[in-house]
A and B are shown apart, each in its own frame.
Chain A
Amino acid sequence: MTEVLVTLFVIFVLAMFVGFEVITKVPPTLHTPLMSGSNAISGITIIGALIVAGRGETTIGAVLGLIAVIFAMINCVGGFMVTDRMLRMFKKHPGKRK
């Protein structure tokens, strides 16, 4: 078990570095969509929610699963949709500038 945990920890640390590399390249003008978009990505916890909800072993498990699925879906769907709504508004100057 500890070995698995260490492997997972390695993945976690490396992914943090990837995150830092990718995110530092995002210009300030897109920081709000970045936030809502990354927010939607953190909705990945939906996987855990689906697994928990899908077990159907106990009532309490099912109830907790249902709550988790609803919360995570709000997070995913709301996050991606609102990000798209914002990004749609970003337009370049139609004229000849630069």
Chain B
Amino acid sequence: MAALIKLFYLLAAVLFILGLKRLSSPATARSGNAIASIGMLIAIVATLIFQDILSWPMIIAGVIVGSLIGAIFARTVTMTAMPQMVALLNGFGGGASAVVAGAEFVRFLNTGSDLPLSVNITIQLSVLIGAVTFSGSLIAFGKLQELVSGRAITYPLQKTLNTILLIGMIALVVWLVIQPENPTWFGVLVGLALLLGVLSVVPIGGADMPVVISLLNSYSGIAAAMTGFVINNEGLIISGALVGASGLILTNIMCKGMNRSLANVLFGAFGSVVQDTAALPGAPVGDRPVRQVTHEDAATMLAYARHVVVAPGYGMAVAQAQHEVRTLTELLEKRGVDVKYAIHPVAGRMPGHMNVLLAEANVPYDELYDMDQINPEFERTDVVLVIGANDVVNPAARHDTASPIYGMPILDVDKAQNVIVLKRSMRPGFAGISNELFYDERTHMLFGDAKDSVKKLVAAVKEAA
């Protein structure tokens, strides 16, 4: 029996890997997700059949309640709210791992049987990582959902306090490994881990959330793998490791997209203060002219262009303008204009978020181009339409060493013949820095609500013969 169930877990792990492999193309991705979910079903059914399940009512109740909540979340969440959804799911995964490890600890205490050193260590680690993931994810959820302030919250001696907390926890783990028969200290450890999760996410600003979600994603995988060590289960270890690796890769991509080191994101408290734009080195003087453009003129530029690139930012999603944008580009395509979308790695609130938002608006995925693919094309582009993007199109990142975003990879929209920027006002973006693109002589500003502006553009393009 023990051997048989291991084979089922192996099968599940293989299906997970095959499923992830199919995510390498949008055409096969959906079947990949289905394959992975079959793997999960196999693992669950095998567990129910072959493990000695004594207490069925609890399990059935838990499975039904959990499935219902999960299904409701999945069906009702809006695509703009996907980052907080993922944060929340991460939290539940991490929390489950911590609780399983905790239950194992309690069982060893109750039965009075010897807790082997190796199991003991993995229990502590599993509880630790799981609890940090749980509380950290809940805070990330709260920030993204704007239940708590999205700004970086800082206070004196923050790093010192966190360091002390971490050292204290390590000491406590060592103590519990030597002296396991101590439920009080175990409870203290859980409490401290939860506190650490909160304190380590609180100082991180809203703009850095993509990195944090990716990292918490990785943690939730590692937590599952640790739980696998606790209950001696290869299925958990393989699957947890896969997710851990995935989260680490995404974390790395996000950090590169913002030109920040992971340490800088976690401890830098970027965006904690709204910088006074005028006082910044290289900031434009207040009376520098910006060129405004009317909807009619902008529509004419677009309608008679050959190559148009749309550079969307999160502002587009906030204004819910993606469907109007799609209407506009469809209209242009009918006129024979070549339209592409330029997606910056951190255009949305999580890796690949903008792509999902555009896919929801029926933009075909073969029109979406990554930064590296699209940047060489800007020189041949007649018009770039920047919608709700700011820092990711700021040329200062390339040359202004004094700029806080210096070195961040950007979309080189300023190399195009014309740039039309749709913007509500001249307010600076997330990083709180003004954008020299807006003062460029090839830039035309179209002020107003993005959705409203694009609607007017659609009407004006229709009029253009």
A: which residues have CB within 8 A of B?
Answer: 1-2, 4-5, 8-9, 11-13, 15-20, 22-58, 60-62, 64-95, 97-98
Contact = CB atoms under 8 A, between A and B. Distances in A.
A86 B79 contact: yes
Interface residues on B, range: 35 or more
B128 to A, nearest CB: 15
A42 B51 contact: no
Contacts of B243: 19, 38-39, 41-42
A78 B239 CA distance: 17
A11 B117 CA distance: 20
Contacts of A22: 17, 20-21, 242
B37 interface: yes
Contacts of B164: none
A70 B370 contact: no
B34 A33 contact: no
Given A41-B16, A70-B62, 13 more contacts: A13-B241, A20-B245, A31-B253, A34-B352, A36-B86, A42-B243, A49-B99, A53-B55, A54-B48, A55-B107, A85-B74, A87-B29, A88-B30
Nearest to A36: B86
10 contacts: A27-B370, A30-B352, A32-B348, A34-B250, A45-B236, A48-B228, A52-B99, A65-B103, A73-B62, A79-B70
B355 interface: yes
B241 A12 contact: yes
A18 B242 contact: yes
Nearest to A18: B17
Pairs of residues from A and B, 7 with the lowest C-beta to C-beta distance, nearest first: A73-B66, A19-B245, A31-B352, A56-B55, A69-B62, A77-B70, A78-B70
Contacts of A54: 48, 51-56, 58-59
Interface string B15-28: 01101110111110
Contacts of B367: 93, 97
Interface stretch (B216-224, B269-277, B389-397, B454-462): B216-224
Contacts of A33: 23, 29, 33, 352, 356
B364 to A, nearest CB: 4
Nearest to A19: B245
A35 B351 contact: yes
Nearest to B238: A15
A98 B366 contact: yes
B209 interface: no
A37 B89 CA distance: 11
A74 B225 CA distance: 18
A73 B63 contact: yes
A85 B356 CA distance: 10
Contacts of A47: 9, 43-44, 47, 231, 233, 235-236
A36 B17 CA distance: 15
A67 B386 CA distance: 47
Given A36-B89, A72-B93, A74-B70, A42 B63 contact: no
A38 B220 CA distance: 10
Contacts of B71: 77-78, 81
B20 A80 contact: no
Given A33-B23, A42-B224, A82 B40 contact: no
B47 A51 contact: yes
Interface string B331-364: 0010000000001010010111101100110101
* Max chain A C-beta neighbours (<10 A), residue from B79, B224, B227: B224
Given A27-B24, A86-B79, A53 B59 contact: yes
Contacts of B360: 89
* Max chain B C-beta neighbours (<10 A), residue from A42, A64, A65: A42
Contacts of B54: 54-56
A44 B118 contact: no
A33 B25 CA distance: 12
B359 A91 contact: yes
A19 B370 contact: no
Contacts of A94: 364
Contacts of B58: 53-54, 56, 62, 65-66, 69
B65 interface: yes
Contacts of A70: 62, 65-66, 69
A43 B52 contact: no
B368 interface: yes
B359 A73 contact: no
Contacts of A62: 55, 58
Contacts of B232: 4, 8
B82 to A, nearest CB: 6
Contact of B353 (A32, A40, A69): A32
